[in-house]
Structure 1
Amino acid sequence: MKLRKRLAAVLLSAVMILTGLTACDGTAPAGPAELTWQNSRTKQYFDAKGITAQEYTLTADMMASGQKVELKYAIKGKRAGYETAADSKLRVDADGNVYLIGFRGSNKELEWWQYPAGSQSAESYAPFIRACEGYFMLPDAESIGSIAAGEYKDYYTETIKLHRNGVYATYTYCFEGSELSCILMESAGGMMNNIELKPTADEAVIAIPPVDRVIND
Structure 2
Amino acid sequence: MIFDASWLPLFWRGVTRLGEAQILLPAALLAAAWLSWRVRAGQAALMWLVLLSAAAGLTTATKVAFIGWGLGSAAWDFTGISGHAMFAAAVHPLLLRVMATNAPPRTQSLAIATGFALALLVAQSRLEVHAHSVSEVVTGFGLGAAVSLAVLGWQHIPKMHAPPWVPLLLLAWLMALPAGAPPSRTHDMVTRLSLKLSGRHQAFTRHDLHKPPPPALPRHPLALAGA
Q: Same fold (TM over 0.5)?
A: no
Where relative contact order (Cα < 8 A, 6+ residues apart) is larger, the structure is 2
**TM-score, normalization by structure 2:** 0.28
TM-score by length of 1: 0.29
| Higher relative helix content | 2
Specify which structure has the higher proportion of strand. Answer: 1
